[in-house]
Structure 1
Amino acid sequence: MDALKAKYLEGVMAAADESALEDVRLAAVGKKGEVSLKMRELGKMTPEEKQVAGPALNALKNEINSAIAAKKEALGDAALNERLQAEWIDVSLAGRPRRQGTIHPVSQVTEEVIAVFADLGYSVAEGPQIESDWYNFDALNIAPEHPARQEHDTFYMHRDEGDNRPPHVLRTHTSPVQIRYMEKHGAPCRIISPGRVYRADYDQTHTPMFHQYEGLCIDKGVSMANLKWTLEEFCRAFFNVDDIELRFRASHFPFTEPSAEVDIRCSWDKGQLKIGEGDDWMEILGSGMVHPKVLAAAGVDSDKYQGFAFGMGIDRIAMLKYGIPDLRAFFDSDLRWLRHYGFSALDMPNMHAGISG
């Protein structure tokens, strides 16, 4: 017993790693280890011999197992210390600088628009970007011969041969959202519908995909005066200019009657646009009183309710407010451009707090 004890305790102490320690364990107390074989010999002993040899073998086995466990823990601690020495870090050292992301101007301006109209009591409505011909054109009183329904202006979806249904389109405006909303909720209502729209056009101020929001207010006794006030309050808050002057010019849109294009007073000073002052005018949106046929298509009684609608390009007003010269750059995925024109995530829109009325 003493010889086995000395042999294996020395082996445990001499083990340089866990692999060597495992070899010692198997040789001593493994299934075919020396101590295990000795314990099997107990069956051949007399009762008197068992009383002496049994406790001694159990004590030896326990001592060897305890020594192995202690050595294994010591080897683990040594390995951890070695790793800590090799991989140490100074937690007091400043971290490596990382470039922070920025909010895209379209996202920022969309939130600003929503914030302004939220103070005016408008909610946000959304709809699908792939629309049926009926929602995108027919329900909005756009005649079949209207130029907007031509392929040079609208993206049409494919129909299988023999399928004679009118093809779906990538929506050309967010007006279909207004129809869907009135169908579901009826009147009265006050909503804005921001989102992506698509038209076959591409130059410095037009892209095939862009963003716009449209507003709709339906109630009893609504007039052009309410429309004028709403747009003035929006422009005053959005551009953060107290002295705003708008000019309404008679126009024609199939979905409104009467219709008006809206200009804002401005000036150019050394290439810089100034809103609200000067002798120049710039068109910023289209508007008008909702056509009775549009109300009827949405299931609203035009003898009881009337209202106004307006639409404006989000990208366009972002260009005007923040001095961005080219619309195409919005969608070029140029990180240098975004770092220059992007917004911090903490720049929350707050200009709407100054709305009066």
Structure 2
Amino acid sequence: MNTFDALSLFSGGLDSILASKLMQSLGHKVLGLHFVSPFFGKPEQVPEWEREYGIPITTIDVGQEFVDLMAAFPPHGFGKVLNPCVDCKILMLRRAKKLLPVYEASYIISGEVLGQRPMSQRADTLNIIRNDADVREVLLRPLSAGLLPVTPMEESGLIDRAKLRSLVGRGRKGQYALAKELGVTKIPTQAGGCRLGERESARRYWPILRTFPKPLAPYFDLANVGRQLWRREADTVTGHWMVMGRDYRDNQKLLKLVSPEQYVFELKSFPGPSAVGVPIPGLNWTDEILAEAAACLASFSPKARMHGDAVEVSIERHGAERIISVRPDRPHGFEDNLTWPQTRAQQKIWERTLAEI
């Protein structure tokens, strides 16, 4: 295995690129750590980043670890949506610290810029992140190092503090100037890279967090695809969740993500969506509920509705298939998931309840 001087938290955003390239320019051998989960990460872009920026990068899957953090409620809370930014950075730094001896690296690089983000990059929050992650002795933030306390790496002479930067605030002029200095010509667009900061994604994830006793990372991969339908009785979610494709591309994604214990619904004789039913441990899908789900699926096929009579739907689980006949206009209890205001209201109740414990 190759060895490195430093491990860099590499998101693919401009700050992570600049932090890594700056330390490379000072003669340090840097390995980028690209963390991925159902909520963030672009592993398919790693080869392009390596070619464009000359930084070796390895992908680190923290999906289940991150889901466990969310389900237990992040100690430092959420941002404006469902984004636990402070705890996210702590999680990544802890994992990076564990990897230091694996690569014989001496320190960790993070591209944080003092004052750039209101929740996670204030001076006090940067200290909390450093202390809670237990990386005081090994963490370097080279883009704002001149405004932060001296690190052990600088004190020992491993890193020349005079060659680090003092970027601050939300402006990008300093970053653009540094990019030019370092020869970085391909500037990534400035956009959020985490789905947890998006309202549409948050309302997809929320019912999973609150319904499943132990949510699994693959559930959230499913939540990123197609329509999210939950069965309700008297305005109460029963826990029966169905994910339905909106088009051929969605259908193909769903069929790649399905696991053996889940139900796969498909129309036999008409074009239409595919759907996946995700069972909660201990909560059965009765024949009646399976029929409701099949009718819901059929109702999204225009040609099945025009047929005007019962249609056949295939239901497959554990490799066994059964065929049932349903009417596309049959009433069913599956509905779209909560709106964002409804989701936010429930989230606030959850936060207040935990604060009182």
Pick 1 or 2: higher relative contact order, CA cutoff 8 A, min separation 6: 1
Quick check: which has more Rg, 1 or 2? 1
Give TM-score, length-normalised by structure 2: 0.22
Give TM-score, length-normalised by structure 1: 0.22
